[in-house]
Amino acid sequence: MEEGDIPHTPEDPAVLDKYQKAGEACSAAMTEVLQAVAPGVKVHELCRFGDESMLKHVTRALKRVKCEKGIAIPTTVCRNNIASGYSPSSSDDSLEVGDIVKIDLGVHIDGYVAQACNTIVVGIGDEPLEGLGADLYCSLFYGCEAALRLLRPGRTNRDVTKVLTSIAETFGVTCISEVKGYEMKQWVHDGINTIDMGSSDEISDQFEFKPWQVYSIDLMITNGSGKLHKSPVKPSIFTRDVQITKKPRMDAARHALGEIDKKFPVFPFHKNWLTTKNAAFGVSECEKLDCIIPTPILHETPGKLVARMKFTALITGSNTLRLTPGYTPVINPSKEITDPEILAILKMNTRRSKKKKGKK
């Protein structure tokens, strides 16, 4: 690398292209999954369809460039009070009319990640969403729009937290603070710089946004307490803990870990993706040895609802790009934003004028 080159940041046009193409692949897969949502569809089949769709679109991207491409976030489909992490291997769990469903997925090209989550109500067609569902959606939509506009040099992560909390209060719902926004870099989808997506007892260190950073904005809203609980259902998504170097003694675990190290050394994977003999038992043993970290299935109190929207944003020198667009149904809200500060933020353009250099 020559002096003056900019490694591994979107300021390099080649890296920017990879992020944008990953965003297109992620968005195309999300569109196909959303179109497949219907009453009676089995959750595990929808998850597998999402994974297949991601692989189809990401492998077609940037064919002229030789690099690794694949799934960065396995598809999860979470109904009603289930918040995240649900991707069953097989189940009789099917979608029903009126279910509020969160679909989460993500891809990478050469380790540059684009991810998204959208919420859809099953079986309502073009009918306008009203009541609680409308309040949840409005909080998601306006929260994400405000966050997108605050991702600019000179603003801080705490500016985002403050506005998200205020918008949720306007619509009588609560931000789930356990969910964070993260800066992303090559091969890292949950970096050190974090954005609290709601009021939290553990406040993230304050920092200013800078050009050529990439963020995952992940907003989760509920009409419940905002405190999530671990489900007793066993997780099916895991991530390799590269800090654990000890090797299992049992053959099934050793073979499973070897396949994981070869195919999924960085990003999360679904246990069904393993092809080694007795892989299920091997995964269980690897989990006991802490070689892999399970992604817990989290839920709100039964009877409460959770909605979620996540997108990938890239801050350039003069604009903030939303790489994975969101989905919003027809909404008939009963409340509206009146706070002048928030309204002013929502009117802001994501495009910024470049600072003129002073005369020498």
Residue 199 and residue 172 in one domain? yes
Look at residue 8 in the predicted model and tell me its pLDDT.
83
- The 10 Å Cβ neighbour count of residue 60 is 13
Residue 260 and residue 224 in one domain? no
pLDDT of 311 > 90? The answer is yes
pLDDT of 315 > 90? The answer is yes
Residue range 122-175, pLDDT digits in tens: 998 888 999 999 999 999 999 999 999 999 999 999 999 999 999 999 999 999
Q: What is 184-211 written as a DSSP string?
A: EBTTBSS-S-EEESS--SSPPPP-B--T
Q: What is the residue-averaged pLDDT of the chain?
A: 93
CA pair distance 210, 320, nearest whole angstrom: 11
In a domain, 199, yes or no: yes
Q: What is the mean pLDDT of residues 345-359?
A: 78
> Considering all CA atoms of the chain, what is the largest pairwise distance in Å, rounded to the nearest integer?
71
Domain that holds residue 257: 237-294
Q: 5 pLDDT band (50/70/90 cuts)?
A: very low
Look at residue 360 in the predicted model and tell me its pLDDT.
43
In a domain, 2, yes or no: no
Look at residue 101 in the predicted model and tell me its pLDDT.
98
Q: Worst-scoring range by mean pLDDT, 43-57, 190-204, 313-327?
A: 190-204
pLDDT of 314 > 50? The answer is yes
Residue 127 and residue 71 in one domain? yes
3-state SS class at 134: helix
Residue 213 and residue 254 in one domain? no
Look at residue 1 in the predicted model and tell me its pLDDT.
35
In a domain, 347, yes or no: no
Q: What is the mean pLDDT of residues 64-88?
A: 96
CATH number assigned to the domain comprising residue 144: 3.90.230.10
Q: Which of 116, 119, 117, 161 is nearest to 137 (CA)?
A: 119
The domain tally of the chain equals 2
Across 135-166, b (16+ Cβ under 10 Å) vs e yields bbbbbbbbbbbbbbbbbbeeeebebbbbbbbb
Q: 2 pLDDT band (50/70/90 cuts)?
A: very low
14 is written with which tokens? 């080649």
- Which residue has 């991702």 as its token pair? 151
Q: What is the mean pLDDT of residues 241-268?
A: 94
Residue 26 and residue 166 in one domain? yes
In a domain, 3, yes or no: no
Residue 168 and residue 199 in one domain? yes
Residue 189 and residue 70 in one domain? yes
| Share of residues in the chain with pLDDT > 70 (%) | 96
Type of residue numbered 101: V
Residue 259 and residue 307 in one domain? no
pLDDT of 322 > 50? The answer is yes
Residue 21 and residue 81 in one domain? yes
Look at residue 127 in the predicted model and tell me its pLDDT.
86
Residue 90 and residue 210 in one domain? yes
Residue 115 and residue 242 in one domain? no
In a domain, 18, yes or no: yes
In a domain, 348, yes or no: no
Residue 320 and residue 334 in one domain? yes
Q: What is the mean pLDDT of residues 297-309?
A: 97
